[in-house]
Amino acid sequence: MILRIAQPDDIAAVQGAYQQIKSHLAQTVDYRHWHTEGHPTPEMITDWIEEGNLYIAESGTDVAGVMVLDHETGEGYDTAAWSVEAGEGQALIVHALGVTPLFQGRGVAGFLIDSAVRIAQERGCVAVRLDVLVDNIPARSLYARHGFRDLGLHTIDYPTTDLNQFHLFERVL
């Protein structure tokens, strides 16, 4: 498994990976999630790739997983009792982490989150932070297993959805 930054010629493959993930969610979860929100949109994916923030986990020529790493937070992150003070650009934020159905249960999500931690360390960040929809118990368990602290339920506002109940997680580096 390798991790690399997505390039403009990866747009179709990444959009296809997110579509596979959303279709799988539509068949396997009974709560509102990406599949009910149309998240992420093709425009968001294109922007993330053009900004150099979208990462691909590849197994051979297959997209096994995807994630976005940046410093952008939703409105409400400032209400959390973070363990460490992080100035501008000092906390790496994980967004839209997903594993394609063919690769689920093979450690890809753990590989992605461990890679995010490594990248944050290489960039001199003091923490990795993220939010998880309140009903997404598997993701909450994943992050806890990888050393993230659950800071509890918070109202986080994103302009692209009315879903706003998220658990905030932090891993201090």
pLDDT at position 157 = 77
Mean pLDDT of all residues belonging to the chain: 93
Q: Check pLDDT > 90 for residue 7.
A: yes
pLDDT at position 39 = 82
pLDDT at position 74 = 85
Confidence at 35, pLDDT banded by 50, 70, 90? low
Task: Kindly report whether the global pTM for this prediction surpasses the value 0.85.
Answer: yes
pLDDT at position 155 = 87
pLDDT in tens, 128-145: 999 998 889 999 999 999
The answer to whether residues 5 and 48 touch, using CB atoms and an 8 Å cutoff, is: no
What are the extents of the domains in the chain? 2-172
CATH of domain 2-172: 3.40.630.30
pLDDT in tens, 147-158: 999 999 998 877
